[in-house]
């Protein structure tokens, strides 16, 4: 079962919740804050993660990221699998050193596309709906993972130097704060991996809480917007009120978002992924959108 099938399930479930909540709170909140009633084309585009490419307004905040992440995953998977496709025969696969050669070729392909993204694609704003625009930063993350697996100090040092050269070269062509942030983050992770700063035993108390929150961070990312809409509508319904009510609303949004994320993670994200479940959730999104639009 593919990773993205598992990601599709909470995405479709959270999007359905957002469509329903948006319809419920639309009478009390400004139109600029609430997504408009969805069309069937808009629902289909969101279900297929094509909304930005097709020019549809987002039904929830952050869904552009999910769509781009799907493209990035597909592109990365293609680059990693391409060496095996170029030499598919079983005899070639059994040759001494063939597996290592394929791994090196996959790394070179990722590096090459990342460099092309940093130098060309990321400098063209018209490509920001495609994976090629973002693959520079995404590729840096993949490369850092591989750098962290280096056993020789000389290999690690050379790889970090190459990473620094690629990043600074891209910034020399054109300064981009997001790329600079990605580069600094990649270098910090490379050092932290090497020095084992990220090992859980070093953070015995914080690690448990962070790991639990980290596991359901995707669900939290997906579900926080409908929770925000619902709490805002409840606060608005109170009429004129003191600032402390807004403060309580913020705290309520935070707590309810965590609770909703825990439910989405427990009952949807961690459930075994299947095409039947994805199809059912997709149908639920379409039906919900059609119902609230009439």
> How large is the average pLDDT for residues 69-82?
95
- Asked whether the predicted pLDDT for residue 9 surpasses 60, the reply is yes
Q: Give the CA dihedral 37, 227, 261, 181, nearest 10 degrees.
A: 90
Residue 87 phi, psi (nearest 5)? -135, 70
> How large is the average pLDDT for residues 251-256?
96
SS3 for 51-114 is CCCCCCCCCCCCHHHHHHHHHHHHHHHHHHHHHHHHCCCHHHHCCCCHHHHHHHHHHHHHHHHH
- Asked whether the predicted pLDDT for residue 66 surpasses 80, the reply is yes
> How large is the average pLDDT for residues 23-52?
94
pLDDT of residue 1: 38
How high is the mean pLDDT of the chain?
91
pLDDT band, very low/low/confident/very high, at 92 (cuts 50, 70, 90): low
Q: Give the CA dihedral 257, 264, 64, 293, nearest 10 degrees.
A: -90
pLDDT of residue 288: 96
Looking up tokens 């940093």 gives 118
pLDDT band, very low/low/confident/very high, at 239 (cuts 50, 70, 90): confident
pLDDT of residue 3: 46
């Amino acid at each position: 079962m593919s990773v993205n099938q598992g990601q599709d399930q909470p995405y479709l479930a959270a999007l359905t919740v957002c469509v329903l909540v948006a319809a419920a709170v639309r009478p009390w909140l400004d139109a600029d804050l609430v997504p408009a009633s969805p069309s069937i084309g808009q629902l289909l585009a969101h279900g297929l993660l094509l909304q930005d490419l097709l020019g549809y307004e987002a039904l929830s905040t952050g869904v552009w990221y999910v769509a781009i992440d799907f493209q990035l995953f597909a592109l990365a998977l293609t680059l990693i699998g391409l060496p095996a496709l170029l030499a598919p025969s079983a005899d070639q696969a059994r040759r001494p050193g063939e597996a290592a050669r394929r791994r090196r070729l996959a790394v070179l392909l990722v590096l090459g596309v990342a460099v092309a993204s940093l130098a060309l694609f990321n400098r063209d704003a018209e490509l920001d709906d495609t994976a090629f625009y973002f693959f520079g930063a995404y590729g840096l993350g993949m490369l850092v993972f591989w750098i962290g697996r280096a056993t020789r100090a000389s290999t690690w040092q050379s790889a970090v130097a190459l990473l620094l050269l690629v990043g600074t070269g891209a910034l020399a062509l054109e300064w981009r704060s997001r790329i600079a942030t990605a580069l600094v983050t990649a270098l910090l992770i490379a050092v932290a991996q090497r020095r084992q700063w990220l090992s859980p035993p070093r953070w015995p108390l914080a690690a448990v809480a962070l790991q639990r929150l980290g596991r359901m961070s995707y669900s939290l990312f997906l579900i926080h917007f409908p929770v925000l809409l619902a709490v805002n509508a409840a606060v608005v319904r109170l009429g004129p009120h003191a600032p402390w009510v807004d403060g309580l609303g913020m705290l309520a949004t935070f707590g309810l978002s965590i609770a909703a994320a825990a439910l989405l993670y427990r009952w949807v994200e961690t459930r075994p992924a299947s095409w039947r479940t994805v199809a059912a959730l997709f149908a639920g999104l379409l039906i919900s959108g059609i119902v609230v639009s009439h």
